[in-house]
Amino acid sequence: MSSTEPTPGLVVQNLPAKLRLSDYKLIAFDMDSTLINIECIDEIADAVGRKAEVAAITEAAMRGEITDFKDSLRRRLALLQGVTVADLEGVKTQRLRLNPGAAALVAACQKAGLKVLLVSGGFTYFAEHVCALLAIDFMRSNALEIEGGALTGGLIQQSWGEICDGAEKRRTLLEVASLMNIRPEQCIAMGDGANDLPMMGAAGLSVAYHAKPAVRAQAQVAINEGGLDRLLEVLAD
């Protein structure tokens, strides 16, 4: 199937016809600005009056203008030193919301037999909450270092590494696929920023959601208007 826009705001390119959701076994989601409505790090920065500064770095990283995601994350984290756990809780309860169609798409995937992976360059503090809301099977994200009830500006080293960047997102997708004994072609990867491109490139189906221009251009499905569940217009079972 060549590039088409079957309905406004939904672009499909280079896909074979008549794909079904049940053709896949795993769907991997980015979290910030994909499954949820905010970039958590920007909202955390708002608590210390540094949102504009941090958001500018986030935007440049997501557009691919800053190519070293790890460096950009460390720069932003350093600006968050002293943010309290109460501030994090405020972001989680007052600002974080699931994006439209997130629950419907995840439920449809689960009904069709897919496992669900959340893989994020964001933070476990929020990712665990999202996984609980949606009954997500697998998660990988960055763990904020907290001492005395406040952020240190660093991250906790985990068994797989310290920072979940684009390369780690791809590796995680392939690792989970291997654990499930499925092929990468049986995976869907969905994201919005440049650090999602490696895992999107490894998956059998790549989906951009309200994404940056470079991501929309490379995705097989681009949802530019409406909710996440618009993927079901392409993969109806």
What's 25's domain CATH number? Answer: 3.40.50.1000
pLDDT (tens digit, 9 = 90+) per residue, 55-95? 999 999 998 998 899 999 999 999 999 999 999 999 999 99
Please report, as a single letter, which amino acid is at residue 53: E
Model-level pTM greater than 0.85?
A: yes
42 flagged as catalytic: no
Catalytic hit among 23, 30, 87, 165: 30
Please report, as a single letter, which amino acid is at residue 27: I
Is 49 a member of any domain?
Answer: no
Domain encompassing residue 169:
4-37+98-233
Q: How far is CA 51 from CA 47, 54, 118, 211, in A?
A: 8, 5, 25, 21
pLDDT (tens digit, 9 = 90+) per residue, 124-172? 999 999 999 999 999 999 999 999 999 999 999 999 999 999 999 999 9
Q: Is 149 exposed, middle or buried (0-12, 13-18, 19+ CB in 10 A)?
A: exposed
Domain count, the chain: 1
User: Which is nearest to 134 in space by CA: 187, 186, 98?
Assistant: 98
137 flagged as catalytic: no
DSSP annotation of 181: T
Catalytic hit among 32, 42, 192, 229: 32
